[in-house]
Amino acid sequence: MSVDKAFREMIRNEIELQLKPLRDVVSRLETGTADLDELRNVAERLAPLAAAVGPLFGAGAAAGRAPAAPARRGAGRPAARAAAAAPAAAGGKKRGRKPAAEGGARQCAIIGCGKPSRTKGYCAAHYQKLRMLEKTNRRPSSWVDYADPNSVEDVKLPRGRAAAKALAEAQKAG
């Protein structure tokens, strides 16, 4: 019991001692008087401690063994690798656009387009067109959101003078 307690005390003191420079650097980082080289030095000094203490606390194979190797390569590296590994691990959690790129390319809803769909079942170009048609009150009823791939008839828009006329008519109708 008391041996255990003494041991814990010793470890705690050792950690306190080793962490002090880190705390100093952090406080100086906060006041802007330390640079990252100092932080790196401290981190390098702490790495062996982590390797030594980790197993004692049953940090196990993952935390105990792993640090010894990467820590030696210089402080910049492991962090960079961790950052690179993270998105891969996060996998399907990719934010925002392009769900099509992953699941294996659902095609644009417009017949004969063949491009991967990006928004509401339409490729970038056809979604633009859809929005334009909608804005000008000419969206065909078949151009529904999330239409099946390759299922919607494209519309050919008039050009030049005819275009202006078509627009005016659409505006009146709306």
- Count of residues in contact with Zn ion, rule CB under 5 A: 6
126 near Zn ion (CB under 5 A): yes
Closest CB to Zn ion among 87 and 140?
Answer: 140
Specify the long-range contacts of residues 139-144, CB closer than 8 Å, at least 24 apart.
Answer: 143/109
Of the pair 71, 129, the CB lying nearest Zn ion is at 129
Give the DSSP letter string of 137-168: T---TT--TTPPTT-B---PPP-HHHHHHHHH
DSSP E strands: which ranges in the chain? none
Span interacting with Zn ion, options 12-20, 29-37, 90-98, 116-124, rule CB under 5 A = 116-124
25, 43, 100, 108: which one binds Zn ion (CB under 5 A): 108
CB-based contact 121:145 (threshold 8 Å):
yes
How near is the Cβ of 130 to Zn ion at its closest, in Å? 10
Residues making up the chain, counted from first to last:
174
- Which residues bind to Zn ion, rule: CB under 5 A? 108, 110, 113, 115, 123, 126
